[in-house]
Amino acid sequence: MQLTGAQALIKSLEMEGVDTIFGLPGGCILPVYDPLLDSPIRHILVRHEQGAGHMAEGYAHVTGRPGVAMVTSGPAATNIVTPLCDAFMDSIPMVVITGQVPTGAIGTDAFQECDTIGITRSVTKHNELVTSAQDIPRAVREAFHIATTGRPGPVLLDIPKDIVDANNPLSAMRWEWPDDDSVRDGLPGYRPVTKGDPRRIREAAELILSSSRPVIYAGGGILKARAASALRELAELCDIHVVTTLMARGAFPDSHPLCLGMPGMHGNYSAVTSMQRSDLLIALGSRFDDRVTGKVPTFAPEAKIIHVDIDPAELGKVRRPDVPITGDCRLVIEELVAVLRERLDGGAEAPDRAAWKQTISGWREKHPLSYRPSDPGEALKPQFVLEQLRDNTPDDCIVASGVGQHQMWTSQYWKFDHPYTWVNSGGLGTMGFAVPAAIGAKVGRPDAMVWAVDGDGCFQMTAQELVTAAAERIPVKIAILNNAYLGMVRQWQEMFYEERYSEVYLSPDLPDYKLWAEAMGCVGMRVEAPEEVESAIQKANEIDDRPVVIDFRTDASEKVFPMVPAGKSNDEIITDPALGEGYVQ
Amino acid sequence: MSTAEHAPPPDGATHAPARHHLLAVLVENKAGVLARVAGLFARRGFNILSLAVAPTADERISQITLEVDVASAPLDQVMKQLDKLVNVLEIHELAPGEFDGFQDRLRAFLESDA
């Protein structure tokens, strides 16, 4: 079958099972947008290419399938660099297609030319400039294979215009869809290891059986490996507490008695301190990020380490493991559970951990998350808004967030009982992530309710995508915690810069978020009093034909606690210094 | 095609200090592979002391020979990060004997080129 490169590209995406492309056309990618008209693939026309990338990420977060974005060359390609880097840091499977100037014009500083491959090399798992139409199906298959296997990540294909332009003879190709073997043969240097070394797994089992104060340190790799139920089996079999990192919220139910919640810089006291005092950390798909470890030399000083990760470069990168296991988390945990079960059935016994469990319970009772409720007439407490949102949305509601204080409060105060319900930017910390990511999540899971919790600073970075959502009838709901500040920066300036506030004030009224929302085709609301919060949320929940934006006016002086100051040891965790009478749990 | 950059050991000694290791990296002979390897070193803060690229008997495969300074990062981490590059096929650490030979060959090459 003779096709043009453009037809082959769209057909290849169909063959990969793509149902949605987030994108925006332009000069060099224009030829590909023509056969798209005849394809069953849904295209979501974004208002900025960064939005396309974050939507693809949100889609991938909640479905586990690779998100796909397609944009043109030059400025469009540079606009999607941030989502690529975000997806790379958080191991999100994504395939991005960029247009490129015709092959003959590459290197001539042509209009809208940039070195997309060079620019994105360090923020993609792999990228490729496709130089002939005949190569397109192979390049697409390899891109999806690389994006979704091993440690997932973004892959970019740069497609010069001449190889897709129906008017150019260079775009002629003979359609052939590569089989699995030829994909494998085409990538001789790419062989991710998924099965753990059985000897190491037995060593891990023995360490678990001999430890008195074990903690499971579950990371985002649990979700990538679809290992949530395997994790639960392991935790319950050995009766071991679990901390879920920012990227792993929902991987283990918050309502489970063994769940200690989020560790790290703004983690729960019990999660942070149990890791500090543990004698064995079972790190599963986590990477000893600096926000989790605090000062590395003082992190969990007495703990032996079992470290399971599909990326061998993570083993020993930050902390030397006693038992390193390269492999897929689900496969390794299942093997580990089998070995442990065999040992336990054979009469093996773990040391008595009653005292340790009691100690953890003590920490939980003594240091719960807490805040002081607002007095009448005071601004809303952001934590109160989050509790109301949590309690007035379904159990499996998907929540996305931007980056900053509101993100930490959402992670802290939400109750994550289901995997794939939390969409956030962990590694890169991309402000403006929430709105487009929530839109992508809703496209991927139209059956689920999707809320975004955003800050006023974040919202202003990507709010224009609500035009996309309104036009495409994607009914996401946005809660802006509007404290009129770049809140996390303000918090640092208050705590570490002697309250010298430098360039952090944003104004609560400029822009007028309600009017802005309405101008973008959304329902806009403003809430200032605690008694209005619940009814506003319920009203938003009932709207299903357009996006909703609620401007919650929150207290600018509220800070995120607990907190481990940057560069300090986790032993120096600060719970709220004003903690005292009148606090609620 | 063969290119080389060479930074002599600071003390002018024939034998490089032990913190220098020599890696033979077999890569797919594709456009941009050298940039991927060099870019990875720059991005991760690994130091390259010398580097040479040469074809192998198999035209689909090139060899990049790298002298790395492990003061900047543990050798294990350098090798694992390199191995993650899709176009990297194999990495071998060359023994000190092979290292001497490499230095000599490299010097001879540089002199003949000059």
Bridge-based pairing of strands B61-69 and B20-28 is: antiparallel
Query: Can you give the pTM of this predicted structure?
Result: 0.94
Residues A432 and A511 in one domain: yes
Which tokens is A161 given? 């215009």
> Which residue is closest to B82 within chain A, CA to CA?
A313
Using only C-alpha atoms, chain A has a radius of gyration, in whole angstroms, of: 25
Q: Specify the range with the lowest mean pLDDT, choosing from A479-493, A540-554, B31-45.
A: B31-45
- Whether residues A317 and B86 touch (CB distance < 8 A) is answered with no
pLDDT at position B73: 79
Residues A283-300: what's their mean pLDDT?
Answer: 97
Q: Do the domain assignments include residue A576?
A: no
pLDDT at position B95: 80
pLDDT for residue A556 is more than 60:
yes
Q: Which of A16, A49, A57, A465 is catalytic?
A: A49
Which of B58, B80, B81 would best serve as a mutation to test chain A binding (most A beta carbons within 10 A)?
B80
Fold of B19-113: Alpha-Beta Plaits (3.30.70)
CA of B81 vs chain A CAs: smallest distance (Å): 6
Domain termination site, one of A366, A398, A430 = A366
Residues A225 and A169 in one domain: no
pLDDT band at B107 (very low <50, low <70, confident <90, very high): low
Range of the domain at A453: 382-561
Catalytic: A49? yes
pLDDT at position A511: 98
pLDDT at position B113: 53
Which chain A residues touch B77 with a CB distance below 8 Å?
Answer: 313, 316-317
> Which residue is closest to B81 within chain A, CA to CA?
A313
Q: Do the domain assignments include residue A574?
A: no
Q: Do the domain assignments include residue A69?
A: yes
Is the CB of A473 inside 8 Å of chain B's CB atoms?
Answer: no
pLDDT band at B19 (very low <50, low <70, confident <90, very high): confident
Q: What percent of chain A has pLDDT over 70?
A: 98
Which chain B residues touch A122 with a CB distance below 8 Å?
Answer: 39-40, 43
* Tally: H helices and E strands in chain B: 3, 5
CA of A196 vs chain B CAs: smallest distance (Å): 17
Of B35, B76, B87, the CB nearest to A189: B87
pLDDT in tens, A250-278: 999 999 999 999 999 999 999 999 999 99
pLDDT at position A262: 98
Tell me the sheet residues that pair with B61.
Answer: B28
Q: Which of A14, A111, A342, A496 is catalytic?
A: A111
Residues A163 and A140 in one domain: yes
Highest mean pLDDT among A174-183, B49-58, B62-71: A174-183
pLDDT in tens, A313-349: 999 999 999 999 999 999 999 999 999 999 999 999 9
CA of B22 vs chain A CAs: smallest distance (Å): 19
Average pLDDT, chain A: 97
CA of A294 vs chain B CAs: smallest distance (Å): 20
Sign of CA dihedral A72, A77, A82, A88: positive
Q: Specify the range with the lowest mean pLDDT, choosing from A24-28, A80-84, A341-345, A564-568.
A: A564-568
Of A118, A189, A311, the CB nearest to B28: A189
Domain count, chain A: 3
pLDDT band at A508 (very low <50, low <70, confident <90, very high): very high
CATH number at residue A42: 3.40.50.970
Q: Among A367, A362, A361, which residue's Cα sits nearest to residue A412? A: A367
Residues A79 and A164 in one domain: yes
> Which residue is closest to B74 within chain A, CA to CA?
A317
- Whether residues B81 and A313 touch (CB distance < 8 A) is answered with yes
pLDDT at position B111: 72
> Which residue is closest to A189 within chain B, CA to CA?
B89
Q: Among A138, A152, A140, which residue's Cα sits nearest to residue A192? A: A152
pLDDT in tens, A215-239: 999 999 999 999 999 999 999 999 9
Higher pLDDT, A17 or B14: A17
Q: Which of A161, A224, A381, A477 is catalytic?
A: A161
pLDDT at position B72: 76
CATH number at residue A317: 3.40.50.1220
Q: Do the domain assignments include residue A440?
A: yes
Catalytic: A561? no
- Whether residues B89 and A188 touch (CB distance < 8 A) is answered with yes
Residues A158 and A212 in one domain: no
pLDDT at position B103: 63
Long-range contacts formed by A85-89: CB under 8 A, 24+ apart: A85/A123, A85/A428, A86/A53, A86/A54, A86/A57, A86/A425, A86/A427, A86/A428, A86/A430, A86/A433, A87/A53, A87/A56, A87/A57, A87/A60, A87/A153, A87/A154, A88/A123, A88/A124, A88/A125, A88/A153, A88/A154, A89/A426, A89/A427, A89/A428
Which of B46, B84, B85 would best serve as a mutation to test chain A binding (most A beta carbons within 10 A)?
B84
pLDDT at position B70: 83
pLDDT at position A363: 96
Catalytic: A111? yes
Q: Do the domain assignments include residue A583?
A: no
Q: Do the domain assignments include residue A569?
A: no
Q: Where are the domains of chain B?
A: 19-113
Catalytic: A387? no
Which chain B residues touch A317 with a CB distance below 8 Å?
Answer: 77
Catalytic: A433? no
Is the CB of A129 inside 8 Å of chain B's CB atoms?
Answer: yes
Q: Do the domain assignments include residue A579?
A: no
Q: Please, what is the Cα angle at A133 between A132 and A138, to 5 degrees?
A: 90
